[in-house]
């Protein structure tokens, strides 16, 4: 796995003894809060900066299908608030929170219900990609729903996985320009047998995935805070004919513009991370989307992100000790 520095390792080592209030203090810039009302307040504030959003109700792998009902109902509440406030926002959901690992068919039915309701409001739903146990099932869910006419759904593909270039090609072959991926490095630290593990290899693989997605005509959410990924993506966009100052789609054939989408790509960033960079991209004419997580599971989410990827600790330490360098 990618090596963490001494600051990151120290922060991760302390997670078990950190007071809950301290974890909340650290995480408040990265998590909207425990309630939907908190998420609404954050979106109201950031709308003035020209950002759009994807909303995630925290919590994932459940232990019973009964728990999945909570997430289905809570996302319905999210949709209602997005519509009421007129936010430029879509939904991000964890397939395991809908029951995918307990009962794959029932989990798919839950996701189908939400995606169908979102389609009635021309709202997009992103299936977040979790660890390698559900990669195939998540991709199959997207392909199945598209086959049923529910084209307002896409997934996340992780650059660190060896298989991702093949997954991009597979989805492009099946969906054409209706394919819609968020490309990220990936937070899950997977085994060396299936994933790149060095920082350079992960970065290079993520850039390759962005480029392949553009070449295959997919809509691409470039989800990175890494200058190397962003600069390479900007160069690839120019090479493929994208001009942010013009709302033109160079793909042929070009798909119809979806509500809440750019002509064919956007940059996506986590709440509270590299706000100046996001605003700079927006000023250049690029569409920028902020990932807004909220929920009662904020503590578990915060601790899990640290434990699963200790390199996040450096970002936390910098935000805590030098907040002026990372204004939201």
CATH code, domain carrying 53: 3.20.20.220
Whether residues 182 and 327 fall in one domain: no
Whether residues 206 and 314 fall in one domain: no
H-state helical runs in 216-273: 227-239
Q: Quote the CA–CA distance of 202 and 292 in Å, as a whole number.
A: 25
Whether residues 277 and 316 fall in one domain: no
Higher pLDDT, 290 or 25: 290
Q: pLDDT at residue 1 above 50?
A: no
Q: Quote the CA–CA distance of 180 and 1 in Å, as a whole number.
A: 28
Whether residues 5 and 138 fall in one domain: no
Determine the pLDDT at residue 326.
47
Whether residues 44 and 104 fall in one domain: yes
Whether residues 258 and 307 fall in one domain: no
Whether residues 215 and 318 fall in one domain: no
Whether residues 270 and 168 fall in one domain: yes
Determine the pLDDT at residue 259.
77
Token pair listed for 169: 């090609």
Bridging pattern class, strands 153-158 and 89-93? unpaired
Domain count, the chain: 2
Q: pLDDT at residue 12 above 50?
A: yes
Whether residues 210 and 98 fall in one domain: yes
Whether residues 138 and 215 fall in one domain: yes
Name the residue range of residue 128's domain. 32-294
Determine the pLDDT at residue 265.
93
Whether residues 8 and 121 fall in one domain: no
Query: For 166, phi and psi rounded to 5 degrees?
Result: -65, -35
Give CA angle at 94 (92, 95), nearest 5°: 120
Say what the pTM is: 0.86
- Average pLDDT (224-235) is 95
Determine the pLDDT at residue 258.
76
Whether residues 217 and 259 fall in one domain: yes
Determine the pLDDT at residue 22.
63
């Amino acid at each position: 796995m990618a090596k963490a520095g001494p600051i990151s390792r120290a922060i991760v080592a302390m997670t078990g003894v950190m007071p809950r209030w301290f974890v909340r203090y650290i995480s408040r810039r990265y998590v909207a809060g425990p309630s939907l009302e908190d998420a609404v307040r954050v979106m109201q504030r950031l709308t003035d900066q020209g950002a759009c959003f994807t909303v995630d109700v925290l919590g994932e792998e459940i232990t019973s299908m009964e728990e999945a009902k909570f997430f289905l109902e809570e996302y319905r509440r999210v949709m209602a608030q997005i519509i009421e406030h007129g936010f430029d926002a879509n939904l991000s959901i964890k397939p395991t929170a809908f029951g995918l690992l307990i009962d794959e068919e029932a989990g798919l039915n839950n996701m189908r219900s939400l995606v169908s309701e979102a389609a009635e409001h021309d709202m997009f739903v992103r299936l977040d990609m979790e660890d390698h146990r559900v990669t195939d099932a998540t991709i199959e869910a997207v392909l199945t729903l598209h086959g049923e006419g529910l084209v307002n759904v896409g997934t996340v593909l992780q650059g660190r996985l060896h298989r991702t270039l093949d997954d991009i090609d597979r989805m492009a072959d099946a969906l054409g320009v209706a394919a819609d991926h968020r490309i990220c490095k990936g937070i899950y630290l997977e085994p060396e047998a299936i994933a790149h593990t060095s920082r350079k290899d992960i970065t290079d693989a993520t850039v390759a995935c962005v480029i392949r997605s553009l070449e295959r005509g997919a809509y691409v959410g470039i989800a990175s805070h890494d200058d190397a990924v962003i600069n390479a993506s900007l160069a690839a966009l120019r090479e493929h004919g994208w001009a942010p100052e013009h709302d033109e789609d160079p793909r042929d054939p070009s798909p119809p513009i979806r509500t809440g989408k750019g002509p064919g790509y956007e940059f996506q960033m986590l709440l509270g991370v590299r706000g100046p960079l996001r605003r700079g991209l927006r000023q250049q004419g690029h569409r920028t989307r902020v990932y807004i997580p909220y929920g009662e599971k904020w503590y578990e989410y915060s601790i899990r992100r640290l434990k699963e990827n200790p390199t996040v600790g450096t970002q936390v330490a910098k935000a805590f000790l030098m907040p002026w360098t990372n204004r939201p």
